[in-house]
Each structure stands twice: as C-alpha cells, then as structure tokens.
Amino acid sequence: MDFEDFIISPRNFKTESWQIGSRITKDIKEDSIVLLFVSDYRGAGGDAEVQDYTAVRKEFYKLAQLDFEIPIVDLGDLVSGKSVQDTHYILQEVLSACHYKRALPVIIGGSNDFAFSLFSAINFHQKSLNYTQVSNIISLKQGEEINEHTFLSKIFGAKTFSIKNYHHLGYQKHLNEMDSVKLIKEVEFDIIRLAEMMNSTEKTEPFFRKADLVTVNCDAIESFSEPFSVNPQVNGLNRREVCAYMKEIGLSENLKSVGIFNYNIYSENQLNHQLLAQMLWYLIEGINIQRSHPKERHYELFYVLIDDRQFAFKRDTFSNLWYFGDDENIENCIPCSRKDFDEAKKGWLNARLMKF
C-alpha cells in the first residue's frame, strides 16, 4: 500500500538545535517512535475531515530534546476513509508497517474506538497481549458499528484476538452503568478508580509495567478554561498527573503501541495544545529511559509469612520496582508496588496478587 495516498506529510517548522523538532524526520525508521495524527471522530459522534494539528506540533517541536537517542518520526496526518471501518483498515496497515520495522507507533487524535485498530495490529504479530486503558468510561455495548461504546466488547469477543490481561484505569463511578463494571470484574480484569490514581503514580505503576498497548482517553483528563476532550469532564487527572502517567507508559518494558484519543482538536486554547505536546514529550522521555536500562537484571528475594503461608516478593536492584512471586522467570511474576510488600508484612495481601 502506498501511504502517500492516505497520509498528508507535516509542514516544516523552524527550530533551534536543542529542540526536539530539530531531530524529527518524516519516514519510518527501524526502532523509532512514529507519531501519526488522526482526525476521524465519527466513533464519538464527530466529523472525519482532516483537522489542523499545527498548533500541537508547534508546541511539541519547541520542547527540549535532552539526551534522547531514539529516532522520532512525524509521519503526518491520516486521511479518513469513506467510512469509519475504512479508516480502521488504513490505520491498521500503517501500524503493521511500523511493527515490521520494530517502530513504536503513537497515534494522536481520533475517537477512542481506534484502540481497536492498535490492538488488532499488535495481535497480528503477537498473541496474549497486555492492554491498559486510561478512561473514565467502561462500555461493553454490543453493535455492528464500531464506535467508542462498542470497541471494547469487540476486542473481548473476537475469536481471533488473544488478551492476557486488561487493566482499566481512571474509572469514575458516577459516569458508568454498573452492568459493564460488574462484567469486567467477573472475568477478573482490574478496574482502578480515578481516586486511586491521584497525587501519586506509585500504586498504579504496576498496571503499566508489562503493557504491550496503552491507550489514553482524553475524557479522563480534567478540562480547564476550554474543553480538553470531545466529551469534557470537570473531574479527571490533572495536568501534572497525566504527564507523570505518560512517563510511566513510556517506561513499560513491553510497549509496542500507544494511543491518545478523543482530544479536542477544535480547541483554540493554546494551553490545551501545550498540554498534549507535553504529554507526548513525557511519553518519549519514558521510552528513552526504558531503552537505556540494562538488559540483565538482578533481583533481591524476600519472603513474607501470612497465616502460616509463605509468599515471595522480588525487588529489581536497578529500577527499585517490585514483583510478587518466586518464579525464576520474572515474566511469570506479577508487577506490584513497595506498598503491596509493606502491607503483606503487616498481614494483608492485596487481593489482586491472590490471582497468582
């Protein structure tokens, strides 16, 4: 497929040598980070015309590049298909091209249902995915059409899809019907409320650590002055919190794709564009830090006795991150927090760890 027919190349911006824009290229490179902007909002009841992301790019390009070593590609703006399904198909083709080159695609904009395309593209190359979604809404509605309310049920219900773990973060109780929430809990996937994500990333960091795919619904971010998302909310992650979480996403050991959806591209507020740009920057910082970590890890092993049962915790001596389990293969241990270990010493074991 000739991507030139479906992607509008970004314009050039004048930047200083110390700014991240000075090192951005336009062609997919091996082991790179590939940015692609999407304007199809039909899955959220919006339009599909190509929107202007110039304001976001200006804010992003002028940020510092620090000591980043991973190539960064701005592929441009995806032209929407005749139908939403057409856009999903085109996007999946672009994503597959990225995965073949071991590039990490970051999709910005479009409605939240494009998480389906990101999942599909990774699933084509790998089975048993770990998917973490940050969203204030949990919807498992059924329907032939794919939109932000049905995409999750299509992921869970497709026979060709293989999902190992699903973590839903940022859920707000007052915005959701209970049937979908109950169903997620019945299949023992994790649901984390917004209140548990506020002020610190420590408690919820383990849900990002092994993620293959992470998508962020901008509806989960609080709006200020002018709507930040297409479905603005007065409550949500604040500006500092969401940037901290974007860095945690980048630090994932298995990360293969990221989506930032439902952004209000129609906004004329420079601060909204600035926040989205800085979210991208912190994501890239996290990816660069993770890629610089030593491949060989060493772990300290700790045993805790609770009601005559012995439980094992491991601590990564380099990153100071914690795991639950004593399997020699760290992939078979569950990511956890230092707080989980401290509470186990007091005789209380997190119910999530009991699934082990």
**180: phi then psi, degrees, rounded to nearest 5:** -65, -40
The CA–CA distances, whole Å, from 338 to 78, 314, 334 equal 42, 10, 13
Return d(Cα 342, Cα 356) in angstroms, integer.
Answer: 18
Name 52's Cβ contacts closer than 8 Å, sequence gap at least 6.
265
Q: Quick one: CA torsion of 217, 251, 91, 30, rounded to 10 degrees?
A: 160
Q: What is the DSSP letter of 203?
A: T
Look up residue 108 and give its two tokens: 């910005």
Q: What is the DSSP letter of 231?
A: S
Q: What is the pLDDT of residue 67?
A: 93
Look up residue 174 and give its two tokens: 């007052």
Bridge-based pairing of strands 33-38 and 104-109 is parallel
Amino acid at 178: M
Q: What is the pLDDT of residue 321?
A: 96
Q: In whole angstroms, what separates CA 39 from the centre of its chain?
A: 18
Tokens 């497929």 belong to 1
Tokens 């548990």 belong to 196
CA atoms within 13 A of residue 165's CA, in its CB half-sphere: 21
> 22-38: b or e for each residue (b if 16 or more CB lie within 10 Å)?
eebeeebeeebbbbbbb
| Cross-strand partners of 28 | none
Look up residue 248 and give its two tokens: 């945690």
| Cross-strand partners of 314 | 301, 323
**277: phi then psi, degrees, rounded to nearest 5:** -60, -40
Return d(Cα 48, Cα 273) in angstroms, integer.
Answer: 20
| Per-position pLDDT tens, the chain of length 356 | 677 889 999 999 999 999 999 999 999 999 999 999 999 999 999 999 999 999 999 999 999 999 999 999 999 999 999 999 999 999 999 999 999 999 999 999 999 999 999 999 999 989 899 999 999 999 999 999 999 999 999 999 888 889 999 999 999 999 998 888 888 888 889 999 999 999 999 999 999 999 999 999 999 999 987 999 999 999 999 999 999 999 999 999 999 999 999 999 999 999 999 999 999 999 999 999 999 988 899 999 999 999 989 999 999 999 999 999 999 999 999 999 999 999 999 999 998 898 75
